[in-house]
């Protein structure tokens, strides 16, 4: 039993990381209907910026704040420069543009920082809390706490501020949002900025667990897609619930299903994506899109 | 024509892409007046309102109290005091009634005034007050139309554009709605341009009316003159004079 609980906690820790990247995906999808394939690479790039700040001798938390600010601005710039020209274009065009962005950001990071792996400092102390035969690492607790804080801040932004209300109005009905005087273009840019910021958090959470290198987010992106698909691509709370579920499912499957082990774990999110799309395409918390003719 | 023209439209053409829908429309609306736009389906009535709120391409000039509106973006025109209640109401379905109303005041500052205006809207539409926490998508058609008009009023508009407010509503609900529009116009001196299939209702509350056919104004006059016109009577009122 203790062993099972132990796996559960590990799964939640991993799931929180997936949840944060899934949250970034959902933020952009909600406002623009775009699935941003470059979300993971943008997060990786942000993590390199954080690394650069720490290498320059800044304390970790200051480096974090600066990185989030740079990521926010970078996300807005990407929307204005790369995405704006294809606004309203067919879905496939937009998908290709985000895939192009993926390749560009990945190559740019390799060009600037090389493909050699780098150590990324862990902001949380080593060691663990021991209780009732259970050992929960500080870094697991830290990751869960950070994701909870991000969730809480986003909730406050969307439910209790005027800008948040404006952003939700744009997501619900962009034409009407224009008619009440909202600058829709800026709200979309703001959405990309927020998503880039949340993505940066996930990159910074991932880097100490893996190593910092340009391809580090590739695997995480697949888990994040599974999380967002499971929770519903238009539901931020669903993305988080989906992320935690995917993390737990993956860990338990690796531990208890003999033939999966640690080698086939990456098959778990893919199986989740497949089954959700077959059985409930809108995800657990998503709204089914009904086209009225 | 009124001597004090508040909204002046001169030689206005508008359309979508290559398709030109309006061909040189001229009309003016006096301050505090209700102006009805009548005409058959496809005449360009909705396009005229969309041209006023900047949602389609336009050529020509639109002046509101002397200031040019043409070729500004919809959000910029909204910030200049034009509130457009579009065909199909355009409510924010997943948001609550209260959030919809507050969005109407999005561009305004001054919290106290916004709260006072919420009370004012509840006065016009008491049913909305009982539904504040519900999502707009759960309202009936009539309630949604009230919400859409209430949202428009939250911006304290100088010009209110109503597109087919009666669409899909029961006759009694429609009558109530038009009574409220007239009350709003009388109490707040809001200038109103209303596009309406139901010519009887529109002429009952309007001072001026214009008949649009194939993108051109073919007849203009006071509501009484238009009502008395034989051609209009045959085409839109369903009887001969």
By C-alpha distance, the chain B residue nearest A160 is B99
Query: What's the CA gap between A181 and A162, in Å, rounded?
Result: 13
Query: What's the CA gap between A236 and B8, in Å, rounded?
Result: 47
Q: Does domain A2-279 have CATH number 1.10.150?
A: no
| Cα distances (Å, whole numbers) of residue A9 to A139, A217, B132 | 12, 22, 41
Work out whether strand B208-213 and strand B34-38 pair parallel, antiparallel, or are unpaired: parallel
Enter the pTM of the model.
0.88
- Domain residues for the domain of B196 are 5-84+157-237
Q: By the 8 A CB rule, do B219 and B229 touch?
A: yes
Work out whether strand B19-30 and strand B159-163 pair parallel, antiparallel, or are unpaired: unpaired
A180–B55: do the CB atoms touch at under 8 Å?
A: no
By C-alpha distance, the chain B residue nearest A159 is B99
Q: Residue B20 belongs to a domain with what CATH number?
A: 3.40.50.300
Question: How many contacts (CB atoms, under 8 Å) link A and B?
Answer: 67
Is the pLDDT at A135 greater than 50? The verdict is yes
Query: What's the CA gap between B37 and B57, in Å, rounded?
Result: 20
Whether residue B146 lies inside any domain: the answer is no
Q: By the 8 A CB rule, do A205 and A150 touch?
A: no
Residue with tokens 């600010």: A69
Q: By the 8 A CB rule, do B177 and B147 touch?
A: no
What are B29's strand-pairing partners? Answer: B7
Point out the residues of chain B with pLDDT beneath 50: 1-2, 240-241
Whether residue B187 lies inside any domain: the answer is yes
Q: In chain A, positions 174-203, which contact chain B (CB-CB < 8 Å)?
A: 175-184
Q: What is the pLDDT of residues A198-210, one digit of tens each?
A: 999 999 999 988 8
Give the closest residue to A42 by CA, choosing from A2, A11, A14, A82: A82
Whether residue B144 lies inside any domain: the answer is no
Query: What's the CA gap between A155 and A148, in Å, rounded?
Result: 10
Give pLDDT, residue B241.
Answer: 44
Residues of B in contact with A182 (CB under 8 A): 75, 103, 106-107
Give residue limits of the domains in chain A: 2-279
Residue A7 C-alpha, separation from nearest chain B C-alpha, in angstroms: 38
Give the closest residue to A15 by CA, choosing from A262, A231, A261: A231
B103–A166: do the CB atoms touch at under 8 Å?
A: yes
A180–B151: do the CB atoms touch at under 8 Å?
A: yes
A162–B106: do the CB atoms touch at under 8 Å?
A: yes
Phi, psi of B30 (to 5 degrees): -75, 155
| Lookup: tokens for A6 | 């132990």
A181–B75: do the CB atoms touch at under 8 Å?
A: yes
Q: A26 Cβ partners below 8 Å, 6+ apart?
A: A228, A231, A233, A234, A235, A236, A238, A239
A120-134, A157-171, A229-243: least confidently modelled range = A120-134
By C-alpha distance, the chain B residue nearest A181 is B75
Q: By the 8 A CB rule, do A263 and A216 touch?
A: no
Residues of B in contact with A179 (CB under 8 A): 53, 74, 78, 83-84, 86, 90
A175–B94: do the CB atoms touch at under 8 Å?
A: no
Q: By the 8 A CB rule, do B206 and B30 touch?
A: no
Whether residue B123 lies inside any domain: the answer is no
Query: What's the CA gap between A280 and A30, in Å, rounded?
Result: 18
| Lookup: tokens for A256 | 């208890």
B103–A179: do the CB atoms touch at under 8 Å?
A: no
Is the pLDDT at A26 greater than 50? The verdict is yes
Phi, psi of A141 (to 5 degrees): -60, -40
Q: By the 8 A CB rule, do A104 and A93 touch?
A: no
Minimum-distance CB partner of A180 among B76, B93, B104: B104
Three-class secondary structure assignment of chain A: CHHHHHHHHHHHHHHHHHHHHHHHHHHHHHHHCCCCCCHHHHHHHHHHHHHHHHHCCCCHHHHHHHHHHHHHHHHHHHHHHHHHHHCCCCHHHHHHHHHHHHHHHHHHHHHHHCCCCECCCCCCCCCEEEECCEEEEHHHHHHHHHHHHHHHHHHHHHHHCHHHHHHHHHHHCHHHHHHCCCCHHHHHHHHHHHHHHHHHHHHHHHCCCCCECCCCHHHHHHHHHHHHHHHCCCCHHHHHHHHHHHHHHHHHHHHHCCCCCCCCCCHHHHHHHHHHHHHCCCCCCCCCCCCCC
pLDDT band of residue A291 (cuts 50, 70, 90) is low
Mean pLDDT for A183-206 is: 94
Whether residue B201 lies inside any domain: the answer is yes
What are B61's strand-pairing partners? Answer: B10
Is the pLDDT at A133 greater than 60? The verdict is yes
Minimum-distance CB partner of B53 among A177, A179, A287: A179
Give the closest residue to A94 by CA, choosing from A28, A41, A190, A183: A28
By C-alpha distance, the chain B residue nearest A184 is B75
- Which residues of B lie inside 8 Å of A (Cβ-Cβ)? 53, 55, 73-76, 78-79, 83-84, 86, 90-95, 99, 102-104, 106-107, 151, 155
Minimum-distance CB partner of A176 among B92, B94, B155: B92
A166–B106: do the CB atoms touch at under 8 Å?
A: yes
Query: What's the CA gap between B93 and B136, in Å, rounded?
Result: 5
Q: Is B164 helix (H, G, I), strand (E, B) or coil?
A: coil
Treating both helix axes as pointing N-terminal to C-terminal, what angle do A217-231 and A184-206 enclose, rounded to 10 degrees? 120
Residue A24 C-alpha, separation from nearest chain B C-alpha, in angstroms: 21
Whether residue B13 lies inside any domain: the answer is yes
| Cα distances (Å, whole numbers) of residue B56 to A114, A264, B51, B73 | 50, 54, 5, 10
pLDDT, greater one: B48 or A280: B48
Q: A157 Cβ partners below 8 Å, 6+ apart?
A: A163, A164, A194
Determine the residue among A159, A171, A176 to mutate to test chain B binding: the one whose Cβ has the most chain B Cβ atoms within 10 Å.
A176
Mean pLDDT for A224-245 is: 91
Cα angle A42, A120, A124 (rounded to 5 degrees) comes to 105
By C-alpha distance, the chain B residue nearest A163 is B106
Give the closest residue to B226 by CA, choosing from B238, B212, B209: B209
Residues of A in contact with B90 (CB under 8 A): 173, 175-176, 179
What are B22's strand-pairing partners? Answer: B14
Give pLDDT, residue A290.
Answer: 58
Residue B75 C-alpha, separation from nearest chain A C-alpha, in angstroms: 4
Residue A183 C-alpha, separation from nearest chain B C-alpha, in angstroms: 6
Total structural domains in chain B?
A: 1
Residues of A in contact with B104 (CB under 8 A): 180
């Amino acid at each position: 039993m203790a062993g099972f609980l132990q796996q559960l906690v590990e799964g939640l820790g991993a799931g929180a990381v997936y949840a944060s990247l899934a949250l970034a995906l959902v933020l952009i999808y909600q406002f623009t209907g775009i699935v941003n394939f470059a979300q993971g690479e943008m997060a990786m790039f942000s993590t390199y910026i954080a690394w650069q700040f720490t290498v320059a001798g800044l304390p970790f938390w200051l480096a974090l704040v600066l990185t989030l600010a740079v990521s926010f601005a970078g996300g807005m710039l990407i929307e204005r420069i790369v995405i704006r020209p294809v606004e309203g274009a067919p879905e496939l065009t937009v998908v290709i543009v985000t895939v192009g962005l993926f390749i560009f950001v990945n190559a740019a990071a390799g060009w600037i920082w090389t493909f050699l792996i780098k150590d990324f400092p862990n902001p949380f102390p080593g060691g663990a809390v021991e209780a009732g035969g259970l050992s929960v690492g500080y870094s697991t607790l830290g990751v869960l706490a950070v994701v909870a804080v991000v969730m809480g801040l986003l909730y406050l932004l969307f439910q209790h501020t005027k800008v948040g209300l404006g952003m939700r109005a744009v997501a619900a009905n962009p034409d009407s949002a224009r008619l009440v005087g909202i600058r829709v273009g800026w709200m979309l840019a703001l959405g990309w900025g927020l998503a880039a910021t949340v993505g940066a958090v996930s990159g910074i959470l991932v880097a100490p667990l893996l190593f910092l290198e340009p391809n580090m987010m590739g695997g995480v992106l697949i888990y994040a897609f599974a999380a967002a698909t499971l929770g519903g691509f238009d539901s931020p709370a669903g993305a988080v619930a989906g992320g935690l579920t995917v993390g737990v499912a993956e860990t338990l499957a690796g531990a208890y299903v003999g033939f999966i082990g640690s080698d086939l774990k990456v098959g778990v999110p893919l199986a989740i994506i497949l089954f959700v799309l077959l059985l409930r395409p809108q995800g657990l918390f998503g709204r089914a899109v009904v086209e009225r003719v | 024509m009124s001597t004090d023209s508040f909204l002046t439209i001169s030689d206005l053409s508008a359309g979508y892409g290559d398709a030109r829908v309006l061909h040189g429309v001229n009309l003016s609306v006096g301050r505090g007046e209700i102006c009805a736009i009548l005409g058959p389906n496809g005449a360009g009535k909705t396009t005229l309102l969309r041209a006023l709120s900047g949602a389609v391409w336009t050529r020509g000039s639109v002046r509101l109290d002397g200031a040019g509106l043409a070729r500004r973006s919809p959000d910029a025109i909204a910030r200049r005091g034009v509130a457009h209640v579009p065909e199909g109401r355009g409510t924010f379905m997943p948001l609550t009634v209260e959030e919809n109303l507050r969005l109407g005041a999005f561009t305004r500052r001054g919290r106290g005034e916004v709260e006072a205006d919420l009370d004012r809207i509840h006065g016009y539409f008491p049913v909305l007050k009982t539904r504040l926490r519900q999502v707009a998508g759960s309202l009936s058609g009539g309630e949604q139309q009230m919400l859409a008009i209430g949202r428009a009023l939250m911006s304290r508009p100088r010009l209110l554009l109503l597109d087919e407010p009666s669409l899909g509503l029961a006759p009694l609900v429609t009558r109530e709605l038009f009574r409220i529009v007239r009350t709003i116009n009388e109490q707040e001196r809001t200038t109103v341009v209303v596009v309406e299939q139901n010519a009887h209702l529109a002429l009952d509350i309007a001072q001026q009316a214009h008949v649009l056919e194939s993108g051109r104004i073919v007849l203009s006059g006071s509501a009484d003159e238009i009502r008395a016109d034989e051609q209009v009577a045959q085409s839109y009122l369903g009887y001969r004079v």
